[in-house]
Amino acid sequence: MTYKAPIDDQLFVLREVLELENYSNLDGFADAPIDVVEQILKEGAKFAEDVLAPLNGVGDKEGCVWSKDHTVTTPKGFKEAYTQMVESGFPALSSKVEYGGQGLPSIINAPYSEASSSANMAFGMYPGLTHGNYSAILEGGTDEQKDLYLPKLATGEWAGTMNLTEPHCGTDLGLLRTKAVPHGDGTYRITGQKIWISGGEHDMAENIIHLVLARIEGAPEGVKGISLFIVPKFMPTKDGGVGPRNEGAKCVGLEEKMGIHGNATCFMSYEDATGFLIGKENEGLKIMFVMMNEARLHVGLQGLSQAEAAYQAAVEFAKDRLQGRSLTGPKNPDGPADPIIVHPDVRRMLMDSKATVEGCRALLYYGILQADLERHHPDEAMRQKAGDLLGLLTPVIKAYLTDRGFAIASEGMQVHGGSGFTEHFPASQYLRDSRIAMIYEGTNGIQALDLVGRKLASKGGRAVMAYFAELDAFAAENEADEALKPFIECLQKAKGRLQDATTWLMQNGLANPDNAGAASHDYLHLFALSALAYLWAKTAKAAQAKVAARDPNPFYKNKLITARHFIERIAPEGSAHLAKLKSGSANLMSLPAEAF
Amino acid sequence: MTYKAPIDDQLFVLREVLELENYSNLDGFADAPIDVVEQILKEGAKFAEDVLAPLNGVGDKEGCVWSKDHTVTTPKGFKEAYTQMVESGFPALSSKVEYGGQGLPSIINAPYSEASSSANMAFGMYPGLTHGNYSAILEGGTDEQKDLYLPKLATGEWAGTMNLTEPHCGTDLGLLRTKAVPHGDGTYRITGQKIWISGGEHDMAENIIHLVLARIEGAPEGVKGISLFIVPKFMPTKDGGVGPRNEGAKCVGLEEKMGIHGNATCFMSYEDATGFLIGKENEGLKIMFVMMNEARLHVGLQGLSQAEAAYQAAVEFAKDRLQGRSLTGPKNPDGPADPIIVHPDVRRMLMDSKATVEGCRALLYYGILQADLERHHPDEAMRQKAGDLLGLLTPVIKAYLTDRGFAIASEGMQVHGGSGFTEHFPASQYLRDSRIAMIYEGTNGIQALDLVGRKLASKGGRAVMAYFAELDAFAAENEADEALKPFIECLQKAKGRLQDATTWLMQNGLANPDNAGAASHDYLHLFALSALAYLWAKTAKAAQAKVAARDPNPFYKNKLITARHFIERIAPEGSAHLAKLKSGSANLMSLPAEAF
**pLDDT tens, residue by residue, B489-502:** 999 999 999 999 99
User: If we measure between CA atoms, which residue out of A488, A490, A482, A479 comes closest to residue A570?
Assistant: A490
d(CA A470, CA A466): 6
The confidence score (pLDDT) of residue B1 equals 64
Q: ∠ CA(A253), CA(A255), CA(A258), 5° rounding? A: 160
Question: Band of the pLDDT at B6, cuts 50, 70, 90?
Answer: very high
Q: Is the pLDDT of residue B86 over 80?
A: yes
Q: Is the pLDDT of residue A40 over 70?
A: yes
Partner A contacted by B258 (CB < 8 A): yes
**pLDDT tens, residue by residue, B290-340:** 889 999 999 999 999 999 999 999 999 999 999 999 999 999 999 999 999
**pLDDT tens, residue by residue, A316-335:** 999 999 999 999 999 999 99
With 0-12 CB in 10 A as exposed, 13-18 as middle and 19+ as buried, what is B259? Answer: buried
Q: For testing the chain A interface, which of B348, B436, B573 should be mutated: the one with the most A CBs within 10 Å?
A: B348
- Determine which one of B247, B441, B479, B573 is catalytic: B441
Say whether A283 is catalytic. no
CB A307 within 8 A of CB A409: yes
What is the average per-residue pLDDT within A338-366?
98
d(CA B448, CA B459): 18
User: If we measure between CA atoms, which residue out of A326, A325, A314 comes closest to residue A350?
Assistant: A314
The confidence score (pLDDT) of residue B517 equals 97
Cβ-based neighbours of B161, under 8 Å, separated by 6 or more: B129, B133, B197, B198, B199, B200, B208, B209, B210, B211
- Helices then strands, counting H and E runs in chain A, come out as 18, 11
The confidence score (pLDDT) of residue B290 equals 87
Verify whether the Cβ–Cβ distance A443 to B256 is below 8 Å.
no
Q: Is the pLDDT of residue A529 over 90?
A: yes
B259: left (phi over 0), alpha (psi -120 to 50) or beta: beta
What is the average per-residue pLDDT within A504-518?
95
The confidence score (pLDDT) of residue B510 equals 87
- Interface A:B, Cβ pairs < 8 A: 254
**pLDDT tens, residue by residue, B30-72:** 888 889 999 999 999 999 999 999 999 999 999 999 999 999 9
**pLDDT tens, residue by residue, B101-141:** 999 999 999 999 999 999 999 999 999 999 999 999 999 99
Verify whether the Cβ–Cβ distance B175 to A337 is below 8 Å.
yes
d(CA A523, CA A517): 10
Verify whether the Cβ–Cβ distance A589 to B344 is below 8 Å.
yes
Give me the residue from B322, B351, B443 closest to A417, CB to CB: B443
What is the average per-residue pLDDT within B572-592?
98
DSSP B326-368: -TTS-SSTTSSS-BGGGSHHHHHHHHHHHHHHHHHHHHHHHHH
Residue ranges of the alpha helices (H) in B380-457?
A: 380-416, 418-421, 427-435, 444-449
Q: Is A182 helix (H, G, I), strand (E, B) or coil?
A: strand
Q: Is the pLDDT of residue A221 over 90?
A: yes
The confidence score (pLDDT) of residue A291 equals 87
Show the beta-strand stretches assigned E in A132-226: 158-163, 179-182, 188-198, 207-216
CB B269 within 8 A of CB B193: yes
d(CA B19, CA B3): 27
The confidence score (pLDDT) of residue A149 equals 98
CB B4 within 8 A of CB B49: yes
Q: Is the pLDDT of residue B89 over 70?
A: yes
CB B553 within 8 A of CB B546: yes
Partner B contacted by A24 (CB < 8 A): no
Residue B576's DSSP bridge partners are: none
Give me the residue from A348, A428, A449 closest to B521, CB to CB: A348
Q: ∠ CA(A589), CA(A459), CA(A514), 5° rounding? A: 5
d(CA B443, CA A56): 28
CB A513 within 8 A of CB A438: no
Give the distance, in angstroms, between the CA of residue A231 and the centroid of all CA atoms in the same chain: 26
- Residue A265 φ/ψ, nearest 5 degrees: -100, 105
DSSP A536-583: HHHHHHHHHHHHHTT---HHHHHHHHHHHHHHHHTTTHHHHHHHHHHT
d(CA B449, CA B185): 41
Q: Is the pLDDT of residue A1 over 80?
A: no
Residue ranges of the alpha helices (H) in B509-585?
A: 513-548, 554-569, 573-582
Residue B182's DSSP bridge partners are: B188
User: If we measure between CA atoms, which residue out of B179, B167, B157, B274 comes closest to residue B225?
Assistant: B179
ipTM above 0.90, yes or no: yes
**pLDDT tens, residue by residue, A103-159:** 999 999 999 999 999 999 999 999 999 999 999 999 999 999 999 999 999 999 999
The confidence score (pLDDT) of residue B30 equals 87
- Residue A210 φ/ψ, nearest 5 degrees: -90, 135
Share of chain B above pLDDT 90, in %: 96
Partner A contacted by B328 (CB < 8 A): yes
> What residues of chain B, 427 to 446, have a C-beta less than 8 Å from chain A?
428, 431-432, 435-436, 438-440, 443-445
Q: How far apart are the first and last CA of chain A?
A: 44
**Which residue of A lies nearest to B429 if distances are taken between CA atoms?**
A258
Verify whether the Cβ–Cβ distance A258 to B585 is below 8 Å.
no
DSSP A9-36: HHHHIIIIIS-GGGGTTSTTGGGS-HHH
CB B548 within 8 A of CB B483: yes
Share of chain A above pLDDT 70, in %: 100
**Contacts with B170 from chain A: Cβ below 8 Å:** 323, 417-418
The confidence score (pLDDT) of residue B32 equals 86
Q: ∠ CA(B555), CA(B559), CA(B560), 5° rounding? A: 125
Verify whether the Cβ–Cβ distance B565 to A588 is below 8 Å.
yes
The confidence score (pLDDT) of residue B27 equals 84
CB A120 within 8 A of CB A5: no
